Every structure is written in C-alpha cells, then in structure tokens.
Amino acid sequence: MNRLSNKVAIVTGASSGIGRVTARLFAAEGAKVVVGARRQAELDSLVAEIRAAGGDAVAVAGDVRSEDYHKALVAAAVERYGKLDIAFNNAGTIGEAGPSTDVSETGFADTLAINLTASFLAAKHQIAEMARHGGGSVIFTSTFVGYSFSFPGVAAYAASKSGLIGLTQALAAEYGPQNIRVNAVLPGAVDTDMYREMNDTPDKQAFITNLHALKRVATPEELARSVLYLASDDASFVTGTALLVDGGISITRT
Ligand SMILES: NC(=O)c1ccc[n+]([C@@H]2O[C@H](COP(=O)([O-])OP(=O)(O)OC[C@H]3O[C@@H](n4cnc5c(N)ncnc54)[C@H](OP(=O)(O)O)[C@@H]3O)[C@@H](O)[C@H]2O)c1
C-alpha cells in the first residue's frame, strides 16, 4: 500500500482491460489518476469505483491519435493535481490484421498512429511536464509479438509495438539526465476484451494458452503489478528496459 503516495499519474486505455485494472491499482497505492480512453461511460464508472474505494481520479475522454488530447490529459493532471509523475501509455489496437499482402496502406498507417505515433505524442507532452518537477516514470505497453516471437498476419501490430521499444530506449537515453525513466512492458496473452476478440473459440484459446511456459494466460492484475513496479521508486534504477511479463511465451517451444 501507498507505493505511489503523493504521485500523479496518467493512464491511457483505461476504459477496459490492463489499463482499467492498473488505474485502480495506482489509485489504491495512493496516486491521483487521470484516466483516458474514448468511451466516456466506462471512464465515468472507473472514476466512481476509484472514488468509492477512497481514491481520487478524473476522466478525460478522447482519441490518442490527437496531439491535442495528450495536451488535455497533461493539463488535467496539472490543473487538478498540480503536477505529473507517472504516465502509463497503454491504449492500443490489433489494427488491420490478416495476410500482409492484403493489408491496406491506411490500415497499416492507422495501426502505427494508435500504437506508436500516439505514444510518442503522449510522451512528448508528459516528459516536458515531468521535467519541470524533478522527473518521472513513463511506461509504454508493447508486446512480445514482433520482439521475441511472432504469428502470421500481424505485421502492422508487430511493427508498431516493436517500434515502442526503440522509442523507449531513445527517450530513456535523452531524458535520463533529467531523472525521467522510460520503460516498456511486454505482456504475453492477457485475458481482456482484445484477447477474447482475437481468440474467439476454445481451440484458439487453448492454442495460445499452450504457447506459454506457465500454460495459462495472464490476468490484467498480473500486468498491473508489473506496471506498478516500473512506475514506483522500487524501479528507481530501471530505465530503457523492455520488461517481458509473458509467462515464458518467449522461451517456450512446446
Ligand atoms: N490482451 C493481450 O493479450 C495483450 C498482449 C500484449 C499487449 N497488449 C496491449 O495491452 C494494451 C491494452 O490492451 P488490453 O488487452 O487491455 O485490451 P482492451 O481491453 O481492448 O483495451 C484497449 C484500450 O485501448 C483504448 N483505445 C484503443 N484505441 C484507442 C484510441 N484510438 N484512442 C484512445 N483509446 C484507445 C481502449 O479504449 P476505448 O475503446 O474506450 O477508446 C481500451 O481502453 C494494448 O496496447 C495492447 O496492444 C495486450
């Protein structure tokens, strides 16, 4: 408890899945949280849950493809809570999947816009604010896909998410001197809406589950605890990393 006392955080992709659970955990650990996604009703119910549990949060709905949206999230943190210490840039999409010879230019570009360019735009405004108050922690949600392992039919997703690892390293090197840590978390399969939409039959779920050394997929809570580690002072000397939280999918061949 209280590992994030007196901290102010932004969490994107907070309307569901990993982001929603992480926002709740950040708040339970003492952070004041600005939660973002497009679905206002889901954000409002999350804020209500956090407040009912004694925490503090505010919702700012919008689309991460807009640079103005990232300015608005940072402005909400500063105007309401006075500063920004932590940013979990987690919103993401599978994007246009299927045989790569069929993927459209707009589908590929849009996948990069949501997963990669939006993360850069977010960090650009977050880091500028963090630097004014002595530092901070930025975390991106990447994936093992396209890093340690891949499947057919996910070229846009893999390209966008592995791009986040280069972005992580470049920003970590650039802003380390200002006490800003930048890391990526690389989940294995996590039981969320995205996972269930991608794996919509028992056979597909069994196939994915079996790829993991632990022979199960993660809960969103397991990811949230790893993100909490990177956000907190427990990770005070950790920057520029790609942290696999993947149940061993990267090292398994059975
Ligand atoms: N589940 C897995 O197995 C898995 C594995 C590796 C990595 N990941 C990554 O984990 C992250 C979270 O995904 P999840 O599994 O928790 O799935 P999810 O429940 O579908 O969450 C995706 C989140 O991203 C938000 N989002 C998507 N497009 C957006 C946009 N254009 N603007 C603003 N917000 C947007 C969604 O909110 P709205 O729809 O309300 O906008 C939602 O909150 C993603 O980056 C995903 O790639 C997931």
Q: What is the pTM of this model?
A: 0.98
Whether residue 64 has its Cβ less than 6 Å from ligand 1: yes
Protein residue whose Cα sits closest to atom 41 of ligand 1: 38
Q: Which of 106, 20, 99 is nearest to 59 (CA)?
A: 20
In a domain, 196, yes or no: no
Whether residue 13 has its Cβ less than 6 Å from ligand 1: yes
In a domain, 254, yes or no: no
Cα distances (angstroms) measured from residue 202 to each of 72, 167, 190: 41, 36, 15
Q: Which residues face 123 on adjacent strands? A: none
Whether residue 71 has its Cβ less than 6 Å from ligand 1: no
Tokens of 244: 């696999």
Whether residue 191 has its Cβ less than 6 Å from ligand 1: no
Protein residue whose Cα sits closest to atom 3 of ligand 1: 189
Give me ligand 1 centre to Cα 177, in Å. 31
Residue range 150-198, pLDDT digits in tens: 999 999 999 999 999 999 999 999 999 999 999 999 999 999 999 999 9
In a domain, 199, yes or no: no
Number of structural domains (the chain) is 1
Query: Which of 58-62, 71-75, 163-167, 249-253 has the lowest average pLDDT?
Result: 249-253
Give me ligand 1 centre to Cα 190, in Å. 11
At 253, the pLDDT band (50, 70, 90 cuts) reads confident
In a domain, 253, yes or no: no
In a domain, 107, yes or no: yes
Q: List helix spans (H) across the chain.
A: 17-28, 40-52, 67-81, 105-112, 118-132, 155-175, 193-198, 202-211, 220-231
Please tell me the distance from the alpha carbon of residue 29 to that of residue 38, in angstroms, as a whole number: 25
pLDDT greater than 80 at residue 227: yes
What per-residue confidence (pLDDT) applies to 219?
98
Q: Which of 56, 52, 54, 53 is nearest to 35 (CA)?
A: 56
Give me ligand 1 centre to Cα 176, in Å. 28
In a domain, 209, yes or no: no
In a domain, 14, yes or no: yes
The percent of residues in the chain predicted with pLDDT above 90, rounded, is 98
Domain with 66, as residue range(s), is 8-190+219-245
Instruction: Give all strands of the β-sheet with 8-12 in edge-to-edge order.
Output: 56-61, 32-37, 8-12, 86-89, 136-141, 180-187, 242-245
Please tell me the distance from the alpha carbon of residue 125 to that of residue 106, in angstroms, as a whole number: 26
Whether residue 193 has its Cβ less than 6 Å from ligand 1: yes
Protein residue whose Cα sits closest to atom 23 of ligand 1: 13
In a domain, 3, yes or no: no
Give me ligand 1 centre to Cα 30, in Å. 24
What per-residue confidence (pLDDT) applies to 60?
99
Whether residue 187 has its Cβ less than 6 Å from ligand 1: yes
pLDDT greater than 90 at residue 127: yes
Mean pLDDT of the chain: 97
What per-residue confidence (pLDDT) applies to 155?
98
Q: Please identify every residue annotated as catalytic.
A: 157
Residue range 68-86, pLDDT digits in tens: 999 999 999 999 999 999 9
Question: What CATH number does the domain containing 95 carry?
Answer: 3.40.50.720
